[in-house]
Amino acid sequence: MARPLILSLDGEEFPVSIVKIDRDKLYGRVEIEAHDEKGLEASLRILAADGKTLIDKGGTALASVTDKGDSVERSELIPITPDGEPIAQVPSSFGQKNQLTLASVEDYFTQIVKSVYIVGTFETNDISALHDHLSDGRIYWFPFSWRGGIEYDNAYIIGSGPDIFMVVGKQADFQYVKLNQAAVLDAGEEEDISADDLDFDLM
């Protein structure tokens, strides 16, 4: 059974449903089919390391192994920091109340967007008050994780029209450079380099 995503704002709770906006549904997609001279559909195969064996789809898998080559179950893996300290896990956003915080337009536009969802009512719940909060162009955000994991994404709630959207992404790390900060090559450092001096092994 689907679970609601509970958004909390000014003491009110809004159980909502979210549906991912698929790029294929917006723009369509093109599929390329390959056929042999007899009209039979061609399929992709993987050539094994021996150079002879063809492996069909589903014939390969990824596995986690120790430095000794022993197999390790995924459930046994523990994320750690570069210093070797365990990383605290974050819970799924579907199992808790998500407090909405007012966000700025600058915060919203400096996101690297991962996915977009359309927000709707869950069962018979009324979210008209949420529409009212967004009607004047205000933007809200909250930490979001679908299944839980090692960190949250940023989820922005926007929409001044009939639809409400949830835009999920990560904060971009922009580094702005002014014109007078641009590096200038000293004329004394210029050297004549011929094609014979180039070492393509370094590229």
Give tens-digit pLDDT for 131-161: 999 989 999 999 999 999 889 999 999 998 7
- The whole-chain average pLDDT of the chain stands at 85
State the pLDDT at residue 203: 46
DSSP-derived 3-state class of residue 64: strand
> Given the structure tokens 């195969």, which residue do they identify?
45
Residue 190 above 70 pLDDT?
no
Distance CA 4, CA 14 (A): 9
CB-based burial, 69-106: b 16+ in 10 Å, e otherwise? eeeeeeeeeeeeeeeeeeeeeeeebbeeebebeebeee
pLDDT single digits (tens) 54-112: 898 888 888 888 888 888 888 888 888 889 888 888 999 998 999 999 999 999 999 99
Residues β-bridged to residue 118: 19, 165
Question: What DSSP string describes 28-43?
Answer: -------B-TTSPBP-
The architecture (CATH level 2) of 1-21+79-190 comes to Beta Barrel (2.40)
Residue 201 above 90 pLDDT?
no
